[in-house]
Amino acid sequence: MKVKAAALILLSCMAASAFSADMPIAKLYKSYEKSGRSSDQMPEYNKVVEVSGIVMGKTVSLSGETLVSVGTRGSEAELARASFSEATKAEKLAALKEGAAFKASCSVGFTMNSDFLPLQGCVLK
């Protein structure tokens, strides 16, 4: 009986720690705004979410990391900036073109009063 209870608790914790349903970037950004523009107040903070949106552009950080700006079709606003896990292949990142659909599993990182959400450790879908 104790094993079943422990397994149930473990499963419920795992379910709470990940949002597996597809979440449009506009909906995730609205959660950020509702949380007073402090990502650590979001229910999705530090959790893996399936994010979808449109590639607004790509840049390379000073450390050489590829960053992808994510937004919505019909808007020029950058709602999120995605960084990628080491496992993401350079070819996949190179294939991402401006205006293309973006879908990845990412962890919502910390930010406060920023214009965009940091998405970390992303893995492209």
pTM (2 decimals)?
0.80
**66-124 pLDDT, tens per residue?**
999 999 999 999 999 999 988 888 888 888 999 999 999 999 999 999 999 999 999 99
Supply the pLDDT for residue 2: 45
Sketch the domain layout of the chain as residue ranges: 18-124
Supply the pLDDT for residue 123: 94
**4-26 pLDDT, tens per residue?**
433 333 333 444 445 556 899 99
Supply the pLDDT for residue 20: 55
Q: Which CATH architecture has domain 18-124?
A: Beta Barrel (2.40)
- Taking residues 27-39, report their average pLDDT: 97
The tokens describing 122, both together, are: 């992303």
Burial class (CB in 10 A: 0-12, 13-18, 19+), 35: middle
Integer-rounded Cα Rg, in Å, for the chain is 16
Tell me the backbone φ, ψ of residue 78, rounded to 5 degrees. Answer: -85, 115
**41-76 pLDDT, tens per residue?**
999 999 999 999 999 999 998 988 899 999 999 999
